[in-house]
């Protein structure tokens, strides 16, 4: 087996499981997730010369996976400049920054399968970029720098994405939980 082929086989062997898990984490079903991983490796072979070794091969592959997923969903990489969550968040506080509309709903002391189901439903409401940032941070436990490299964004943008993702999920959970009471 030629050296290049062997190296590719090793990369496939070491990363397929992680990429498949991430594709599922992006919200894809089994078949679509496997196809996305296959597309990712195909692209990797085409552009591997661009890999400069500044990040790990896995981070490079995650970046391809993320961009391929955006292409598949045919949605713009850019988010809407105004996200309603900013206003919703602000309205929870008074002019001194104290809670005027405190958080309601379940927390760690009231975990149930139903609550977890609501959270997973809410996750599907996040836009791709927010979901990917949230996934890499919460599930893969990447550092902020690694997430920024993967999504090709600046740290200030990552903070905005995480703020919107987490508050969007919390607001959604509260709304769904109250609708069931």
Partner 1 sequence: MMGPSCEEMARRSTSGEMDSAAFLTRIFMRMHMAMCNHCKKFLSQMKLISNTVQKRFGENPDPARVAALKKRLLD
Residues that bind partner 1 (CB under 8 A): 8-9, 12-13, 16-17, 20-21, 24-25, 30, 34, 37-38, 41, 89-90, 92-93, 96-99, 102-103, 105-109, 111, 115-116, 119-120, 123, 134-135, 137-139, 144, 158-160, 162-163, 166-167, 169-170, 173-174
Tell me the three-class secondary structure of 130-163, residue by residue: HHHHHHHHHCCCCCHHHHHHHHCCCHHHHHHHHH
**Please, what is the minimum distance in Å from the beta carbon of residue 21 to partner 1?**
6
**Shorter beta-carbon distance to partner 1: residue 81 or 97:** 97
Strand partners, 99: 93
CA 26 to chain centre: 6
In terms of Cα–Cα distance, which of 6, 72, 75, 4 is closest to 39? Answer: 72
Contacts of 121 (CB under 8 A, 6+ apart): 172, 176
**Please, what is the minimum distance in Å from the beta carbon of residue 77 to partner 1?**
20
**Please, what is the minimum distance in Å from the beta carbon of residue 90 to partner 1?**
8
**Please, what is the minimum distance in Å from the beta carbon of residue 167 to partner 1?**
5
d(Cα 176, Cα 114) in Å, to the nearest integer?
A: 11
């Amino acid at each position: 087996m030629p050296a290049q082929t062997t190296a590719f086989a090793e990369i496939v062997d070491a990363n397929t499981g992680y990429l498949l898990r991430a594709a599922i984490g992006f919200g894809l079903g089994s078949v679509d997730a496997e196809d996305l991983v296959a597309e990712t490796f195909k692209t990797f072979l085409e552009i591997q010369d661009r890999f400069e070794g500044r990040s790990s091969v896995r981070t490079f592959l995650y970046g391809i996976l993320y961009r391929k997923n955006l292409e598949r969903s045919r949605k713009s990489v850019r988010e809407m400049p105004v996200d309603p969550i900013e206003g919703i968040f602000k309205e929870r506080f008074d002019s001194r920054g104290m809670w005027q509309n405190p958080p309601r709903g379940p927390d760690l002391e009231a975990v149930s399968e139903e609550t977890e189901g609501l959270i997973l439903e809410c996750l599907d409401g996040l836009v791709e970029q927010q979901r990917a940032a949230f996934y890499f941070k919460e599930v893969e436990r990447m550092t902020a720098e690694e997430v920024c490299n993967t999504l090709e964004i600046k740290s200030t943008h990552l903070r905005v994405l995480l703020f919107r993702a987490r508050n969007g999920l919390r607001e959604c959970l509260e709304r769904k939980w109250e609708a069931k009471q």
